[in-house]
A = this chain, B = another copy of it.
Amino acid sequence: MNFQNLLARRTQRMHVNAIREILKVASQPGMISLAGGIPAPESFPLELIAELNGRVLATYAADALQYGLTEGFPPLREALAARLSTRGIPVGAEEVLITSGSQGVLDGIGKTLISPRDQIAVESPTYLGALQAFTPYEPEYLPLVCDDDGLIPDSLEEVLKHRAVKFVYLVPNFQNPTGRTLSMPRRRTVAKIIQNYGTLLVEDDPYGDLRYEGAALPSLKSLAPENVIYIGTLSKVFAPGLRLGYCVAPLPIQNWLVLVKQGVDLHTGTYGQALAAEYIAGGYLDRHLPRIIDLYRPRKAAIIDALAHAFPDDFRWSRPEGGMFVWVEGPEGMDMLRIYTHAVENGVAYVPGQFFFVDQDQGRHTLRLNFTMADGPTLERAIALLANVMRRHG
C-alpha cells in the first residue's frame, strides 16, 4: 500500500517534532538536562494519592469509573470554579470546561476556530505546544514583538489595525520559553486594545500558581472577560500524568468547544477528575502548593546566581519571578543549535531557542533553560559547564 498518498493535506504540513529528536540525547545517562519542561517528580503529592484514592472510591464509587459529561466531572468543575472565583475570575461551575490537559483546550480552539489561512497572532518566541495544536488547522502566524515586560502593546495594535486576526495567543505569566511576565500597565493596555478591536484572546496560564517572588497580577480574563478564553492546568500543581486542563471561555465558544470535544475524546478521564476534585475541594492543593514553591524557589535563585557568576558578559538572560524557565540570549551571530552538540558532549542539554519562533531564522543566538528538574548544586555545575562551552565554541 502507498501510505503517503493517504495523508490529509494538513498532515503533510506537520513535521516530526525537531525538538523531540534533538532531546533524545538529553535523556542519556550522566547528562544534566536543562532541556526539559516537566515538573520535578518530587513536586508531586505522591504521599497523598493513596488517601485521595480512598476518598474517590468512598465518595463516587462506580461513578468514578463510568462515562461522564463532555463538559467535565461536576465536582471538579465546582472546585475549579470556586478557586477561580478567589482569583478574579468569578464563574459558576457550568462555565468551567474540563479538557485533556491544556493541550486539549488548544487543540479544541484550533479545531473550532481556525480555517486554513486564518491569521493567529502569537508572541515571538511562543509556546511550541500551542503551535503544534494550531498548525494542523493551517493558520498563518503573525509574530508579536516582546521585551522583558512581555508583549509590547503597540506591536499588538499595529497587527490588529492592519490584519483580520482570528485570535491572539498569549502566555502572560512566566512565559514558556522566556520566563517573562506581562507587566501590570501592559495588561491594562492589552485588555483595552482587544476590547477596542473586538478581538478574541487566548490566555494560557499554566505557571501562574508557581510564583516565587513579587505579587500576583490580575489575569487578562479578569480585565476583559468577554474577550478572553482563559486556560489553566493541574499539570504543574498536581500531576501532569492525569492530563487535566480546563478553560473558561465566552459561552458561545464554550458550547462549540464541547461539541468539538465530543468528537475528539468524548470526555476527559473521570477517575483523574475525581482525584483532582478531592485534591482541590479537600484543601490538599492549598496545603501542597507552598511545598512546590519552596522546592522551586531556591532552584530559580541558583540558576540565576550561576548565570551571573559564570556566563560571559555579552550574554543576557530573563529574570523570571516564577515558572520553570530562563531565557538566555548570546551575542548576535552565535548559533545555539550548532553549539548544542558541544554542550551535549560536555554533559549538559538545553533547548536551542530558534524552535520557539514561528520564523526559525530568528532566535539562533537564544536558548531555553529549565530549572525545576535539577537541584541547586547540579544547576550550578551545569551552568559552569555550559559557560565554558559558550566561551570555547561561541
Interface residues of A (CB under 8 A from B): 1-4, 6-11, 14, 16-17, 38-39, 41-42, 44, 46, 49-50, 53-54, 57, 61-68, 100-101, 103-104, 107, 111-115, 118, 129, 132-133, 135-137, 166-167, 198, 200, 226-227, 235, 239-243, 250, 252-253, 256, 259-260, 262-272, 275
Contact = CB atoms under 8 A, between A and B. Distances in A.
B8 A137 contact: yes
Contact of A200 (B6, B38, B226, B253): B6
Contacts of A101: 265-266
A263 B103 contact: yes
A17 B133 CA distance: 25
A136 B107 contact: no
A129 B266 contact: yes
Nearest to A256: B11
B66 A41 contact: yes
Q: Identify whether the interface residues of A are mostly helix, strand, loop, or mixed.
A: helix
A54 B272 CA distance: 16
Given A11-B256, A267-B243, A272-B272, A262 B112 contact: no
A67 B226 CA distance: 33
A6 B113 contact: yes
Contacts of A3: 250, 252-253
Given A3-B253, A243-B266, A265-B265, 17 more contacts: A1-B198, A1-B250, A3-B250, A4-B252, A8-B111, A11-B259, A17-B262, A66-B240, A67-B240, A101-B265, A103-B264, A111-B136, A129-B263, A133-B263, A136-B263, A239-B271, A243-B269
A265 to B, nearest CB: 4
Contact of A260 (B136, B166, B240, B270): B136
A259 B17 contact: yes
A44 B57 CA distance: 13
A1 to B, nearest CB: 5
Nearest to A47: B57
Given A1-B200, A6-B166, A263-B107, A50 B46 contact: no
